[in-house]
Chain A
Amino acid sequence: MTIRLTHSIRGKLTGIIMVTSGTAVLLACAGFIASGLLNFRTRLIADLSTFSHVIGFDSIHALQSGDRQMEREVLNALRAKQSIIAAGVYNLRGEAIARYEPHREITIPSTVLADGVYDRGGHVELFTPILLGQRRLGTMYVAADARDRNARLRQYFQIAGGILLLSLLTAFVLAARLQGRISEPIVELARVAALVSKDKSFTVRVRQPLVNEGDEIGNLITGFNNMLAELEQRDRELVRYQTELETTVAQRTAELTAANEELLVAKNSAEKAAAVNAQLARESALILNSATDGIFGVDLQGEPTFLNPAGVRMLGRTLDELRGASIHKLIHHSDAAGNPMPEEGCPMGEALRRGDPYAGANDTFWRPDASTFPVEYSATTMFHEAGNKAGAVLLFRDITERRAIERLKSEFVSTVSHELRTPLTSIRGALGLLSSGLLGTVAEKGQRMLEIAVTNTDRLVRLINDILDLERIESGKVELTRGTVDAQSVMDQAREGLQSMADQARVRIVAEPMSASLWGDSDRIIQMLTNLLGNAIKFSPRDTTVTLSGIAGATEFTFCVADEGRGIPDEKLDSIFQRFSQVDASDSRNRGGSGLGLAICQSIVTAHGGRIWAEKNKPIGTRFQFTIPLAVRPAVEPQAVTPTGAGPSVLIVEDDTDLARVMATALQRRGLQTFQTASGKEAIRLCHQHEPALIVLDLGLSDLDGFGVVDSLRQSPASSNVALLVYSAIDVGSADQSRLRLGRTEFLTKSRCSFGDFEELVVRLLEAAETTKDSEHAA
């Protein structure tokens, strides 16, 4: 049975109950009818059987006798039983010997059937044997009307129909009343669901009937309500999110609009900037291309990035030819004389690698064809606009022409100086003789004129000397002979030189004691002090004091020359160091100066790496101060400076002082003078001072190594021929041996020889040196 789904749940429930109860009642009635019918037949057959036996028994006699009449009478007794509609008795031959046929239309069968019950044509027939003891005498036939049964059946159906009707009615009433318990909550659920889906509102709830609490429907409703609550919550959040989202979107939209406008503005200005940039790039390229200086750029890895046409022309190489190789090896491998320059520690290379600023003035660049040009260059850092390093740029200039001009100027000054000096010699000599009176006396005014001529000739000579001096210092022609200089000593020498001048001017010189070891050219330092002291005396009134003092700082020593003269105006304190500068018209020229003294001082101090300046002296006068670097190491102990022993002198340069002492003692025993130092710089100074016959040189020294010492000693003719014994801890290679040569030179490795070998070699060298000297004398 199918139930149409579109029906309401009430209908469905009612239908289900009706169908169920109807079916039950129907089945019960069917059972009841079947049972009734079965009982009816059994009883009918039992009745018939009883009759059959009774009648059969009665007919036994008749059968035995064959008395037909009697037989008929027996059968007629059946009339009392209305339900029997026919009966007969058959003998063993199957001949009907008696018949009972009250109804014409119904007759007994003509043939005897087997014993048993037969349903036929609305009545029930029964064949039973007629027995006498165990002997069969015939067959008894009885037929009963079954229509009685049908009437009963009809009655049954009527009762069953009534029951069915009544039970369906009851079921319907009960269903109508009870189905609400189940259907109502569901209907309510459906209603609420429909409402939710129609209104899209999750605020409604399903009413919870008390009877359903705890059962499935109750749970369903609770679940549904919870779901609604959750949906409502979600809905609220959704609404909130939506609101927020809308706000955000509005905000973003506004921002985007603003940004868009800015972008437009930026785009416009970028386009303008690009145009300007392009213009600038064109101009930059033009500048780079037309610059006469070489411009060479490297990136942070030291890889060449550009080289302008002037650079290509000068170097004889294109940018590509500079790539991938060491710049130093290509263009900067040797100095002008062809001596190799180590790449390690090359200041130009370092400057390009690190991007530190560095300027080189006297350098040489090489071309691929092995020609060279003198160059002046400066390396500077390139920065990105953001301020981070982009690399370095090397600006270089071929200074061949300038060198030539400088040489011409230098030669010119030198020649002019000599050419002026020649006539001046005659003039000065003649005037000197005249004014001396040796050639006879002249009138007083004439004598005065002669003295003026002598004074001014002297001044002219000084001027020429100073011009030449300044030119030579500034052109770098005069190499400073640097060494360790005792501050007290140079101060004393300067003072002694000017003492008579001070006495004449009645100016007192006070020199404060000082103790410091300087690194410089002592003659030049004395020259500076003499200049400053001379100036101070010249500008000091009588009976005033000129004070010489000095103070040692961390790395440099400051000399100070203070006078009590009229002082220099503030605005002139800087300019007085310029050539021919004067404080006022009555100045140095009238006092016999050349006007170049301070300029020379400045040149000398600059060459020393120091500074010079003037300031007011308190309470009156001027203080001139200049600085000279301190020697890296203080002078070695005094006994080392004074040679000990007699005979030819040996300078021992050895940083292991114990070993030096052993060597000194051993050599003194052999009748030699020795003096020793651990410092390379001090060694150079001692060598110039004492002119030893032999130098014993260790290579590893604290300040200047053995190579530095030899290089320096080679510069001076006095020391370039001194005998040399290189006594080193390690073997000296042949390349290094060629660098380490002075006069007669020998090499000895400390670990490879005995001390006796060393002593003998010293003696042999000294003998050889003596022989050479003698032969030179003889020549």
Chain B
Amino acid sequence: MPPKQILVIDDENDIREVAKLTLQLTENWNVWTANGGAAGTAFALSNEPDAILLDVMMPDMDGPSTLRVLQQQGVTRSIPVIFLTAKVQAADRQKFLQLGVRGIISKPFDPLTLGQQIRAMLAWE
């Protein structure tokens, strides 16, 4: 079984790097990163990753807008999206869930359990 292709969209370089390293080391997934929603959607359209970790608060194009773009494209519509967000309030989570994301992981995350959380949300294995 080929390794999972994961796309991490975040405007923070450090977070992209930590997340990429974490998932590579703990899960042996192929992790791609994109700086911002525009780059992310473009990558997703051409590469069709297995899942997308999407930051919510980003300049220019935030998480929900990016999600809407992804949902509007036939190619990317079925790619499961997980929000990775510093917004931890219950009301926010409720709102995000209604947008159609598969799960929400709050920042900061524990690198040792990040992969497990994603797998649980996407029902992998």
Q: Complex formed: what's the CA distance from A720 to B116 in Å?
A: 34
Verify if A718 is at the interface (C-beta below 8 Å from B). Answer: yes
Please tell me if B57 contacts chain A, counting CB pairs below 8 Å: yes
Given A418-B57, A418-B86, A422-B107: A430 and B95 interface contact (C-beta under 8 Å): no
Closest A-chain residue to B26, C-beta based?
A438
**Min CB gap B91→A, angstroms:** 7
Q: From the candidates B12, B21, B98, name the one contacting A425 in the complex (CB within 8 A).
A: B12
Contact between chains at A425 and B89 (CB < 8 Å): no
- In the complex, the chain A residue whose C-beta lies closest to that of B24 is A438
Count residues of chain B with CB under 8 A from any CB of chain A.
26
Interface set, chain A 407-435, CB cutoff 8 A to B? 417-418, 421-430, 432-433
Complex Cα distance A468/B106, Å? Answer: 14
- Give the CA-CA distance A465 to B90 in the complex, in Å: 12
A457 at the interface (CB under 8 A from B): yes
Nearest chain B residue, comparing its CB with the CB of A472: B89
Enumerate chain A residues within 8 angstroms of B111, measured Cβ to Cβ: 428-429, 432-433, 436
Set of chain B residues within 8 Å of A430, measured between Cβ atoms: 14, 18
- Indicate if A345 sits at the interface (CB-CB under 8 A): no
Q: Does residue A523 face the partner (Cβ distance < 8 Å to B)?
A: yes
B90 in contact with A523 (CB, 8 Å): yes
Contact A425 B112 (CB under 8 A): no
Contacts A421-B107, A433-B22 given; indicate if A426 touches B14 (C-beta within 8 A).
yes
Flag if A425 contacts B90 (CB, 8 Å). no
Looking at the assembled complex, report how far the CB atom of B78 sits from the nearest CB atom of chain A, in whole angstroms.
Answer: 13
Known: A433-B22, A465-B88. Contact between A428 and B98, CB under 8 A? no
Q: Is residue B25 contacting chain A, with contact meaning CB distance below 8 A? A: yes
Q: Is the CB of B18 within 8 A of A418?
A: no
Q: For the complex, give the distance between the alpha carbons of A425 and B110 in Å.
A: 9
Asked whether, in the complex, the Cβ of B86 is within 8 Å of the Cβ of A421, the reply is yes
Closest residue on chain A to residue B57 by CB atoms: A418
Write out the residue numbers on chain A whose beta carbons fall within 8 Å of the beta carbon of B25: 433, 438-439
Which of A417, A428, A469 sits near B109, CB closer than 8 Å?
A428
Q: Are B18's CB and A433's CB within 8 A? A: yes
B:104-125 near A, CB below 8 Å: 107-112
What are the interface flags for B73-89 relative to A under an 8 Å C-beta threshold, 1 for contact and 0 otherwise? Answer: 00000000000001111
Inter-chain contact A425/B107, CB cutoff 8 Å: yes
Q: Counting CB contacts under 8 A, is B19 at the interface?
A: yes
Residue interface mask A442-480, B partner, CB < 8 A = 1: 000000000000000100010001001100100000100
Question: Known: A417-B86, A432-B110, A432-B111. Is A425-B95 also a contact (CB below 8 A)?
Answer: no
Least distance between B37 CB and chain A CB atoms (Å)? 17
Interchain CA distance A436-B110 in the complex, whole Å: 11
Distance in Å: Cβ of B38 to nearest Cβ of chain A: 20
In contact, A422 and B86 (Cβ under 8 angstroms): yes
Instruction: Tell whether, in the assembled complex, residue B108 and residue A457 are in contact, meaning their CB atoms are under 8 Å apart.
Output: yes
A424 touches B89 (CB 8 A): no
B46 at the interface (CB under 8 A from A): no
Q: Is the CB of A429 within 8 A of B109?
A: yes
Whether A717 sits at the interface, judged by CB under 8 Å, is yes
> Which residues of the other chain, A, contact B18 by a CB distance below 8 angstroms?
425-426, 429-430, 433
Q: Which of A418, A465, A469 has the most CB of B within 10 A?
A: A418
Q: Which residues of B contact A469 (CB under 8 A)?
A: 89
User: Known contacts A461-B108, A717-B94; is A429 also within 8 Å of B86 by CB?
Assistant: no
Q: Which chain A residues border B109 with CB–CB below 8 Å? A: 425, 428-429
Q: Which of B88, B91, B112 contacts A468 (CB 8 A)?
A: B88
B101 an interface residue at 8 Å Cβ cutoff? no
Query: What is the bound-complex CA distance between A466 and B21, given in angstroms?
Result: 29
**B112 touches which of A417, A426, A432 (Cβ 8 Å):** A432
Q: A426 and B86: CB pair below 8 A?
A: no
Interface string of B52-65 (1 = CB under 8 A from A): 00000100000000
10 shortest interchain CB distances as A-B pairs: A429-B18, A426-B14, A428-B108, A432-B111, A421-B86, A425-B108, A425-B107, A438-B25, A418-B86, A429-B111
B residues with a Cβ closer than 8 A to A are 12, 14-15, 17-19, 21-22, 25-26, 57, 86-91, 94-95, 98, 107-112
Q: Measuring CB to CB, which residues of chain A are less than 8 angstroms from any residue of chain B?
A: 417-418, 421-430, 432-433, 436, 438-439, 457, 461, 465, 468-469, 472, 478, 523, 717-718
Known contacts A421-B107, A429-B111, A461-B108; 13 further A-B pairs (Cβ under 8 A) = A423-B14, A424-B108, A425-B86, A428-B109, A428-B111, A429-B22, A433-B22, A436-B112, A438-B25, A439-B25, A465-B88, A469-B89, A478-B90
